Structure formats: C-alpha cells, structure tokens
Amino acid sequence: MANKLRVHQNRIKGIGCKGMSALAIMGMLSACVAAERAPSRTQPAPAVNRPMAPVVPVRPTVTRAPMGLENLLNEQWRAFPGRTGVAIMRIDGGEWITGQRVDELFPQQSVSKTWVALTVLDLVDQGKIRLDQKIRITRDDLAVFHQPIRDRVIANGEIEVTVLSLLEQAIISSDNTANDSLLRTAGGPQVVQNFLLRKKLGAIRFGPGERAMQSAIAGLEWRQEYAIGQRFYAARAEVPLARRKAALDRYLADPVDGASPEAIVRALAKLAKGELLSPASTRLILEIMSRTSSGPNRLKAGVPAGWRFLHKTGTGQILPPVSTGYNDIGIMTAPDGTRYAVAVMMGSTTAPIPQRMSFMQFVSRTVATYHGQ
C-alpha cells in the first residue's frame, strides 16, 4: 500500500499540482485509502441511511370571515328586535366561523329533530335498527301541535310505518308524532343525549320529547287527551297568564332543549364531512334534509339560484307579543362546491313573521354575496 501511495503522490506532482495545498493532497490520499477498503463485488454494500423528507400534516387553512359580511351581519343583527343568535361557518377551502351570540344557548324546538334522526341512523349503522323496520303507532302515541300522521292513526286506530318513512316525515314535514315514534324506537331522550356526547357535538341539549316539553312550556302537565283536535290549545288557554308567563320565562332562561349556534354549525360541518355517520347514512340524511318543506321563506328564500340548500326548521310557542324558538339551520353549497353551515336562532322576538323571514333571508343572501372574498 505504501508503494501505491508514493505512485499516487508522483502522479499529483506530474499533473502540475505543486501549488496544491497539503490539505487537498490529504483529501485525495484519503479517497485512495477509502477505495482500498471498498467491499468486493461478492459482498452486499452496507445500507445507506438517507434522511427522509419531513412529513407536513395537511391541515385546513383557518382564515377570517370577510369583513364586509361581519359588518353587515352586525348591523342587521343589532337592528333586529329580541334575543337572536347567528352562526355562519365556512366548511371548505379555509375554515372560519362568525356570528353573534354564538356560544349562548337558544331553544331549538323542532331543530332538535335533527339529532333524533342522526341518532337513529347511527343505530342503523350499528345494525341495531333497520330502515325497513316497521313501527306501530296508536292513538296513545300521538303528540301535540304539527302532526300530519295523526289523521291516519285516528282513522285506522293504529298504523305501521317504516323507520325510513318516519325519518322523512319528521324532517321534511316536521311531524311531532313521527319524531316521538323515532325517539321511542331509539330508546328515549338519554340515547340521543349519549349520541351528542359520544360524537363530541358540544353545547347541544336534548329535551324530554315533544309532549312533556311543550306541556311544561305552557304551564301544563301532559294528558294524552291533549293530542286530539284542539284540546291542547283549549287547556293552555285556561292556564292563568302569570303562571304561563313564568313557565315560558323559565324555559327561555334555561332551555331544556337549548343549543348554541356555534355548536350547531360545527355539528352540521361534521355531518357534511362524513364524520358522524356512515357514507350511506350521511347521504340519506342530507338528501332528506334537501326536501324539507317547512320554512320555505326562511333561510331558503335568500339562497340564490345555482346554490344547493338543505335545512331543518324549528318553531316554538307564542305568548303575545313574544314569539319563541323561531329557527332555521342548514347547509348552503355554492356552485363551486364550497359549503357553509348556517344557524339562525330567534330565542324570543316581537318581530312579525315577515320581518323574521326577511332577517333570515338576509343572512343566507349575504353569505352568498361574500362567497370567495
């Protein structure tokens, strides 16, 4: 090896490297020594540990709502009479949430039918309930207020309806008896509350069901006879005004079915992204909500042509001049596929119905106006 080193030094000198520094020469000599130690072709080369490129997690870009949208919303919200909560959440292409009173609890009324439907579909996903399962409904199962299914039950004494049909009637036409039948099939209010907790949906409560809740709001205790005709209204009219007002005030101060606008839009966003149910159940409930017939002049009327919209309404009791629980929640989808979750919750207001509708239309129209900004 010494002879080879001398030969290597002579070659360096022969190519005119007299001015080369000793450090450079030593570098070349080191290369020669390394070559002497290279493994033979019959031996596997040692593994080379190459540094891996860093893994950058994919996270949604959190941006801020357009300033113009926030300013207009604040201006109109301040001018609207009563206690109202609004939340708007951009789901795709940069997440943001804006609104007013977004973290306060508001009465949901029939908005809560959304959580019953999701709980039932979650049980379908678990194989505990079937969509074609028949549910028996009798006169003893009838509820209160809006319940188109009641006429069929009274005419026949009892009927059998599939779970799928009840889901459609509860969401599309906001049928209270259909909803209470689903609630009973699911296992009761606590099962719905457990679903909300398990899915980490935040500040969303679920009440005791339509009959018990509506009776308590009116200062009554439920009697099954109230389900027939106008008997509930007649009984409510007999309640002393002071007692009825006290009962309503208690409900508004601490609604047993209360939910915050922010929790609602975040729950809708999770639903839209497929984080709550199986793909099949997600598609089904979104399709059903797209056919909602109640509240056509609420949020839906402000959604421009070319956009898609699905929603669930809620409407509470009235003790003149105050109306309560006048709500609408939904998902707006722009022509480019960007989705927005929207919730308008009118806890209590003295505004007439046209003014309530106009405010809701303003919210959905303004969302569309500022899309992409």
pLDDT at 28 over 50: no
Q: Give the model confidence (pLDDT) of 102-119 as tens digits.
A: 999 999 999 999 999 999
Q: Give the model confidence (pLDDT) of 207-225 as tens digits.
A: 899 999 999 999 999 999 9
Q: Give the model confidence (pLDDT) of 158-212 as tens digits.
A: 999 999 999 999 999 999 999 999 999 999 999 999 999 999 999 999 989 999 9
Residue 193: in which H helix or E strand, if any? Answer: helix 189-198
pLDDT band at 93 (very low <50, low <70, confident <90, very high): confident
pLDDT at 152 over 60: yes
| Helix 189-198, helix 176-186: angle, nearest 10 | 70
State the Cα–Cα distance between residues 332 and 358, nearest whole angstrom: 17
State the Cα–Cα distance between residues 352 and 167, nearest whole angstrom: 31
The model's pTM is 0.83
Task: Give the mean pLDDT of 253-266.
Answer: 98
C-alpha distance from residue 41 to each of 45, 121, 126, 288 (Å): 8, 65, 60, 69
pLDDT at 58 over 90: no
Task: Give the mean pLDDT of 45-51.
Answer: 41
pLDDT at 328: 98
277-285 contacts at long range (C-beta below 8 A, 24 or more positions apart): 277/118, 277/121, 277/122, 277/125, 278/125, 281/121, 281/122, 281/124, 281/125, 284/121, 284/167, 285/117, 285/118, 285/121, 285/167, 285/171
pLDDT band at 372 (very low <50, low <70, confident <90, very high): confident
Q: Which amino acid is located at 120 in the chain?
A: V
pLDDT at 61: 58
Domains of the chain plus CATH, in order, are 67-369 (3.40.710.10)
pLDDT at 19: 38
pLDDT at 226 over 70: yes
